[in-house]
Amino acid sequence: MRGGAGRRLLAAAAAAVILGGTLLLIVVRAAYPLDYEDSIRRACVAHGLDPFLVISLIAAESGFRADAVSPAGAVGLMQIMPATGAWVAEQVGVADFTPVFLEEAETSVLLGTWYLSHLVAHYAGDLRLALAAYNAGPTAVDRWRAAGESTPATVASYVERVLSGAARYRFWYESPILGALVRALPR
């Protein structure tokens, strides 16, 4: 290949690489959404949590749907049970709490991050136990531990999904180049 044909082939190859890279970034943005990032980051700073851990927890719990309601009755982005929400609201000074508050993204993040930080402190910094308690409740986790039982497979799988999701979010969004490219895509 000489001259023009070689340049055309090189241009076509470059275009294919750019298109493939753009498609990859679009898939990443869809697979790893980052809605409510500012609220999550503010709450994580206030409660000493890793934002990527909370983002991954939200992805696992509600798929970033503020109006999500689980079969068990957990509500909102962070899937908080209404009774837990009422208790946490009292702890953080949210007046006149009603379960409807949990459908508000800001409130769900505020209450959920406080509760997760409370669980992390309760379990002396053990993220695995804190996440298991977030998913199954601290009473269940304490009962399993007291009985010498292992964490049920569904809860252990949830914990792994959240922890590995946090690592993937960090890879895609904290990398200086990749993060900037993924964030530049429209939502």
**What per-residue confidence (pLDDT) applies to 15?**
62
Q: Which residues pair with 69 in a beta bridge?
A: 75
Q: pLDDT band for position 12 (50/70/90)?
A: low
pLDDT at 16: 61
Statement: residue 98 has pLDDT above 90: yes
**1 or 104: which carries more pLDDT confidence?**
104
Give the distance from CA 5 to its chain's centroid: 49
Strand partners, 80: 75
- What confidence tens digit (pLDDT) does each residue in 51-76 have? 999 999 999 999 999 999 999 999 99
Instruction: Give the residue with greater pLDDT, 31 vs 86.
Output: 86
Q: What is the DSSP string of 18-73?
A: HHHHHHHHHHHHHHS--TTHHHHHHHHHHHT--HHHHHHHHHHHHTT-TT-B-TT-
Catalytic residue among 37, 61, 90, 106: 61
Active site residue 104: no
One-letter amino acid of 10:
L
Instruction: For residues 142 and 123, give the distance between their C-alpha atoms in angstroms, rounded to a whole number.
Output: 10
pLDDT digits (tens, 9 = 90+) for 33-42: 889 999 999 9
Q: Which domains does the chain have, with CATH numbers?
A: 35-176 (1.10.530.10)
Report pLDDT for 176.
Answer: 85
**Between residues 51 and 2, the one the model is more confident about:** 51
| Mean per-residue pLDDT of the chain | 91
pTM reported for the whole predicted model: 0.86
